[in-house]
Amino acid sequence: MRNGSKTRRIARTGLLFALALILQYLESLVPVPFPAAPGIKLGLSNVVTMFCLFSVGLPEAFLIAVLKGGFAFLTRGPAAGVLSLAGGLLSVAVMLVLTKTGQSRGLTGVAGAVSHNMGQLAAECIMMRSSAALYYAPLLIISGVVMGTVTAYTYKAAEPYLERVRGDT
């Protein structure tokens, strides 16, 4: 790989990570739809992860998930970092499998959201050393379907603009 190409990839990944953080911040300004259900969010920063997976490359998709987990660790603590990392990595893996099997991007986005929630739930059970958190699973599955649909539509609307960031690799 030429040095200029490597530099371009690093710069693009930095821009995409910055965009993911901006989307996370904007999302934090939106009130939680169900106050009795903590942790349910739109997941708009996952639009960036989806874009990386679909248009940039698998390594960048996993890297964005890891960077988001690291940022959560630094800004919200170890538990938030572990939950973000577990959800992000499982989500990318599930979306990769669905992409390879020819599933639509909409279904892939919804499955990514649900698997993100399930990855976080599994990590929570491990951290608590209890399966009590599994009672939260039905609500997380429903919210994953709803929020994943919103994220998939957002991705579809934003894709032409994100393609400008992709550039040539």
35 Cβ partners below 8 Å, 6+ apart?
A: none
The residue type at 90: L
Q: Per-residue confidence at 169, pLDDT binned at 50, 70, 90?
A: very low
**Spatial distance between the Cα atoms of 130 and 152, rounded to a whole number of angstroms:** 33
Helices 78-100 and 105-128, packing angle to 10 deg: 140
pLDDT above 90 (res 33): no
Closest Cα partner for 105 from 26, 64, 158, 59?
158
Q: What is the CB neighbour count within 10 angstroms for residue 134?
A: 13
**What is the residue-averaged pLDDT of the chain?**
89
Across the range 114-138, mean pLDDT stands at: 92
Domain 3-166 fold is Arp2/3 complex 21 kDa subunit ARPC3 (1.10.1760)
pLDDT above 80 (res 69): yes
| Alpha carbon 24 to chain centroid, angstroms | 10
pLDDT at 28: 80
Across the range 138-143, mean pLDDT stands at: 91
pLDDT above 70 (res 160): yes
Q: What is the CB neighbour count within 10 angstroms for residue 130?
A: 10
Q: What percent of the chain has pLDDT over 90?
A: 66
Q: Which residue has the higher pLDDT, 30 or 69?
A: 69
Q: Which residue has the higher pLDDT, 73 or 5?
A: 73
